[in-house]
Structure 1
Amino acid sequence: MEVKPTNSSFRQYMSFWGGQMFSLLGSMVVHFVIIWYLTETTESALVLAFASFFFILPMIVVFPIAGVFSDRLDRKKLIITVDSLQAATTVVLILLFAIGYTNIGIIFLFIALRSVFQAFHQPTVNAVIPTMVPKEKLSRINGLNFLASGVIQLIGPALAGTLLIFISVEQALWTDIITFFIALVPLILITIPKVKIEKEAKEESFKEEFKDGIKSLRTIPGVMSLLFMAMLINFLIQPISVLSSLFIYSNHAGNELEYAFISMGIQTGIICGALVTTFKKQWKNKIPITIICLIIFMIGYAFMSLAPYRAFLYIFLVNVSMGFILPIINTIFQTIMQTIIPHEKFGRVSSIDSTLSMLITPIGALIVGPLAELMGITNLFLSSAVLGVSVTIFMYLFSGLRKLDFKVITDTIPASEVDTPSIIE
């Protein structure tokens, strides 16, 4: 049963949203602190690869289940429960650090548990939006969410790096507990509408929907090639995603603040690129522009791998340029998918793309560790960049990408109202 948002529910949502931004900041600090701790204490690409694997794999397993729970249970109680469990897990880790018990296995377990809690938290929070925000304000709220999240992800590493200079790891982790209580106050005070599920609604098994989505994709020339290229690109960027902290620490003798500075670079670029996509109303020659942007991104990847020793400003600027490209690539990809996929098939097609991207990500994360130990981080980054350029050019010249028909559907779905997958996750 559809819930009609009101101005009152919108005001309540804004207070809830403010709390969630603090919660996101706490999560960003925890992520930075844990990754840097593993980097500094182990200096191991294998350890970082397993850390990434243990974060991604639980999400893949839990996401489908979490989505069902978020639709069927009281969303307010579900958010409070998973957030409380996440905070309690952080408290346990703080206590273990305080007594000197810092086993790597315990940290992996901590990462996996946080992944499970976030897998429940993310779809539930997203599901709250259309029940509390009037339709005419959805676009602005989605834009505000994207911008505010970008700013938080920009501030998070800087805050975490600064904290680690002056206080210990366990003390820095208290940021997560503080932000949890800040987010909890408005959550307790607001009313989140309950959505009733229509029992007569047609039910299809996941297998049937997946097969129907694949069938839909195969009927549109070029779409499978586009998704396959996206999957390969996501696979090839795993080295920089998993090993950037070790690259700064081992290859360039960087400290916490210098790694934070580098981390802020790509987010700065993303914010700038997002502003461009906001003002750009229409993208012509979508496939050629996408190919060119991907090549530029991969060239930036190569430039980063070849950075002179401790040239942190150089690495920062390369990251800014790479980050700037990402929103352009993803916006064009979203527009392509929204244009060529039939509306009634869009949800399952999106889920197929997300599933494919997520399935290959943990595989990439696991492979990264041994390859880095064998080749070295610099060579791995450079090889991935060269392969990325090669794959992009090959897919454009020899696949069905150029056969995409953007006139299949002329009435496109507004980007602000659709959860569309990105070409680069």
Structure 2
Amino acid sequence: MQKQWKKTFALIFSGQIFSILTSSMVQFAVIWHLTESTGSAAVLMIAGLAAFLPQAVLGPFVGVWLDRWSRKLTMIIADSAIALFSLILGFYFILGEPGLGFVYIILSLRSAASAFHAPAFQAAVPLIAPEEELTRVAGWQQMVFSFSNVMGPALGIAVYSATSLGAVLLLDVAGALIANLMLFLVKIHQPKAQATVSPSFIHEFRLGWSALIQAKPIVLITGATAVFSIAFMPLATLFPYMTLSHFGRGGYSASLVEAVFSIGMILGGLLLSVFSSKWSDISYMSLGLLVIGLTCVISGLIGPNAFVIFAVLSFFMGSAAPFFNGPFMAMIQRSFEPEMLGRVISLVTSIMMLSSPIGLLLAGPVVDEYGVQLWFLGSGIVVMLTALFIFIQFRRLAFRQRTETE
């Protein structure tokens, strides 16, 4: 049994490496193309909105379908849809330069398909791995994601520079095909729906919402994460802009920053998988947020000649990310029954992602007016305050639980 579930994850992750790698290439190449061709932070923020908003809007409702459908088949169909939209945009770039509106539409359609893929995978994890191994698996997942993202920006800028953005997009299709092939080779048992659950969509949605709000620790972290996401999520789009506008560097320097960030995530994921049982999930999460916030603050203060320092800070920022993402997802997976997990994960994801458009709408004008460093500085302060809030609240909750049992 121990070897079987590890073999299943080995097959799944080996396929996901290719899919995430090519998606990372596409993401970086598109952002760099928009950065280089427009030089506008506002354009980047609109692209970010196109990539985030559909997932945030669809998320609360996707979970109901995920708990009804085969999670394996959902992942395959969603990844195929993402590949199809990449294929369409790729041919468009090969034939000629599409307008920004068409690029935004394709980004939105890819985002809508991703709204099904990511929660389906997270909801499938507890159906494969033992409960006590969920944090370790989260560490593995962070390593796979990070490994793919190490090579993604470098390969993306290399293929983009040598050929065109269209060629990068076509490679994304090949990555999706490999990932789907590996999924066909594994078996994932779909949990049976509860006998008391009504077939009504609204009723099932309300059941998922009720289950979520009754888990007070998850609600607390979700709310805090939604607040810091307003400040932090735009940075995913602003990293290349920081390299270009503040440090005056080109595409390869921007890809270097993405690579060292991802190398840090690999190290962080490895450490999390090895030491997953040493500390509590909350301790890991608070430490991860504190390091992320501190590196953002320093990045917002350094001068235009300190690119090497920025790259080092990006490494430590990346290494801290798995210590928040992994334990949080493992907490969610432990807290709910498998037949309810799709709805809960989709709701949590949507709540956090709905805050991202707010940040993106604010970041564009602020960065264009005052510079990208101000956003790094402000986001770092918000993230550190969030870390402190989560740590204090859970210390109070633990103290209250101890006094009630004595």
Contact 2:85 2:106 (C-alpha < 8 Å) held by counterparts: yes
- Equivalent residue for 1:52? 48
120-129 or 33-42, which deviates more:
120-129
Corresponding position: 1:251 with 2:246: yes
Larger Rg: 1
- Equivalent residue for 1:262? 257
Unaligned runs of 5+ in 1: 410-425
User: How far apart are the structure 1 equivalents of 2:281 and 2:183?
Assistant: 45
- Alpha-carbon shift at residue 148 of structure 1 (Å): 2.1
Corresponding position: 1:175 with 2:171: yes
* Sequence identity (%): 25
- Equivalent residue for 2:378? 383
Q: Deviation digits for residues 25-66 of structure 1, max 9, x if unmatched?
A: 111111111111111111111111111111111112223443
- Equivalent residue for 2:308? 313
Task: For 1:82-121, list aligned pairs within 5 A.
Answer: 82-121=78-117
- Alpha-carbon shift at residue 171 of structure 1 (Å): 2.0
Contact 1:238 1:368 (C-alpha < 8 Å) held by counterparts: no
Relative to structure 1, the CA distance from residue 367 to residue 343 in structure 2 (aligned partners, 3 Å threshold; closer, same or farther) is: same
Q: Secondary structure at the match of 2:398?
A: coil
Q: Secondary structure at the match of 1:366?
A: helix
Relative to structure 1, the CA distance from residue 137 to residue 110 in structure 2 (aligned partners, 3 Å threshold; closer, same or farther) is: same
Letter in 2 for 1:362: P
- Equivalent residue for 1:366? 361
- Equivalent residue for 2:162? 166
User: How far apart are the structure 2 equivalents of 1:286 and 1:144?
Assistant: 19
Letter in 1 for 2:263: T
Q: Secondary structure at the match of 1:405?
A: helix
Contact 1:273 1:328 (C-alpha < 8 Å) held by counterparts: yes
Unaligned runs of 5+ in 2: none
Task: For 1:234-313, list aligned pairs within 5 A.
Answer: 234-280=229-275, 281-283=277-279, 294-313=289-308
TM-score (norm 1): 0.77
Number of residue pairs matched? 395
Corresponding position: 1:42 with 2:38: yes
- Equivalent residue for 2:15? 19
User: How far apart are the structure 1 equivalents of 2:232 and 2:263?
Assistant: 19
TM-score (norm 2): 0.80
User: How far apart are the structure 2 equivalents of 1:338 and 1:16?
Assistant: 18
Pairing partner for 2:398 from 385, 392, 405: 405
- Alpha-carbon shift at residue 245 of structure 1 (Å): 1.3
51-60 or 346-355, which deviates more:
346-355
RMSD of aligned Cα (Å): 3.9
Relative to structure 1, the CA distance from residue 213 to residue 73 in structure 2 (aligned partners, 3 Å threshold; closer, same or farther) is: closer
Letter in 1 for 2:18: F
Contact 2:72 2:183 (C-alpha < 8 Å) held by counterparts: yes
- Equivalent residue for 1:421? none
Contact 2:296 2:377 (C-alpha < 8 Å) held by counterparts: yes
- Equivalent residue for 1:423? none
169-178 or 134-143, which deviates more:
134-143
Q: Deviation digits for residues 196-223 of structure 1, max 9, x if unmatched?
A: 7447233454335535643552xx7xx7
Relative to structure 1, the CA distance from residue 118 to residue 337 in structure 2 (aligned partners, 3 Å threshold; closer, same or farther) is: closer
